[in-house]
Amino acid sequence: MAASPRRLTGWLRSVTTVAAAVGAATIGLTVPAHAATPNPMAHPERDYMGSTVAAHEHRTGVTPLLAPGGLPGLDVSHWQGTINWTTVKNQGAQFAYIKATEGTTYRDPNFSANYTNAYYAGLVRGAYHFAQPASSTGAAQADYFAAHGGAWSADNQTLPGMLDIEYNPNGATCYGLSQASMRSWITSFLNEYHAKTGRWATIYTTTDWWTTCTGNTSAYASNDPLAIARYSSSVGTLPAGWGFYTIWQWADSGTFPGDQDVFNGSHDRLIALANNTP
């Protein structure tokens, strides 16, 4: 599959950054000592839900030509530019997750437009936070997320906020944390988000990352819905504790802008998830 424009753009920016550093050294400018170790918030504008997956996990089998069973949806960030959400709705999308924040300083510049316009188009939508466990505490990032797009209300159209926790886009796969420390970070985020909003966040991840970086803990399966990323003809083995997925990100391109998702249930169940009802 050809590389998507957003990935090509990210690659070009990386090359430009390296070239700039080399050029600075050549003409005698001082390059900071920490430049050799990527800043944990080096390029939040290039990070989105699943942006690290293709580079770390081989596609297995054949990506389905048609979406798996379930309600069709999507996830987006500013990479998709201006989105006509009425068109997306008319193409069959029922729900969307939209990037809101990363770390404690970055807010996606298209979040407000996407979040508002998806609502008025009639989609059930939620916000997601791209985790940066090396840059600040889980609680601090949950606070920032809740205050900058991750809030929740029982209005039939607002999904619980999502914690997007995946491969480190700037360095060590697990952000330099041990499995125990990663579990503590995730717990801190989830508990704080729950305290701020009254909802348990959805967790987006891959089975490989979860196993590698958390020790395949099952600690969150009873409260936090699972959004699993796997670009394949089957969803595969799920992380420990989850007997089923709530959302499957099954392809990184397709009918809708951004990534292609399905919700594992009926429209009534989607509304129940949004409103936190049985």
Q: Could you confirm whether 164 is annotated as catalytic?
A: yes
Mean pLDDT of 120-132: 97
- Inter-residue contact 260 to 254 (CB < 8 Å): yes
> Do residues 255 and 92 lie in contact, with contact meaning Cβ atoms separated by under 8 Å?
yes
Identify whether residues 91 and 220 lie together within a single domain. yes
Tell me: do 121 and 16 sit in the same domain: no
pLDDT of 111 > 90? The answer is yes
> How many structural domains compose the chain?
2
Residues 235 and 220 grouped into a single domain = yes
Catalytic annotation, pick one of 47, 75, 102, 208:
75
Whether 233 and 133 map to the same domain: the answer is yes
If asked whether residues 96 and 14 sit together in one domain, one would say no
Q: How far is CA 96 from the centre of its chain?
A: 12
- Given a cut of 50, whether residue 25 has pLDDT beyond it is no
**pLDDT band at residue 15 using 50, 70 and 90 as cut-offs:** very low
pLDDT of residue 137: 98
One domain, residues 198 and 253: yes
The secondary structure of residue 60, as a DSSP letter, is: B
Which is the catalytic residue, given 164, 208, 259, 261?
Answer: 164
Residues 9 and 79 in one domain: no
Residues 24 and 92 in one domain: no
* 3-class DSSP assignment, residue 171: coil
**Which residues are 71's β-sheet partners?**
263
Beta bridge partners of 74: 96, 260
Active-site pick, 47, 102, 166, 261: 166
Catalytic-residue membership of 224: no
28 and 130 together in one domain:
no
DSSP 184-243: HHHHHHHHHHHHHHSSPPEEEE-HHHHHHHH-S--TTTTTS-EEEE--BSS--PPPTT-S
> What pLDDT shows up at residue 79?
92
Q: In terms of domains, do 1 and 58 share one? A: no
In 9-84, at which residue ranges do the beta strands (DSSP E only) sit? 71-76
Q: Which domain holds residue 20?
A: 1-36
pLDDT of residue 27 exceeding 60, the answer is no
pLDDT in tens, 129-150: 999 999 999 999 999 999 999 9
Q: How confident is the model at residue 64 (pLDDT cuts 50, 70, 90)?
A: low
- Catalytic (active site) residue 252: no
Quote the distance between the C-alpha of residue 21 and its chain's center: 30
Give the tokens for residue 115: 């979040």
> b or e along 188-205 (b: 16 or more beta carbons within 10 Å of the residue's beta carbon)?
bbbebbbebbebbbbbbb
Cα–Cα distance measured from residue 108 to residue 99, given in angstroms and rounded to the nearest whole number? 6
153 versus 33: the higher-pLDDT residue is: 153
Mean pLDDT of the chain: 85
- pTM of this structure: 0.84
Question: What is the CATH classification number for the domain harbouring 112?
Answer: 3.20.20.80
Percentage above 90 pLDDT, the chain: 73
For 235-244, what is the mean pLDDT? 97
57 and 82 housed in the same domain: yes
What is the average per-residue pLDDT within 90-100? 98
Strand runs (DSSP E) across the chain, as ranges?
Answer: 71-76, 95-102, 106-107, 124-130, 162-164, 202-205, 226-229, 247-251, 259-263
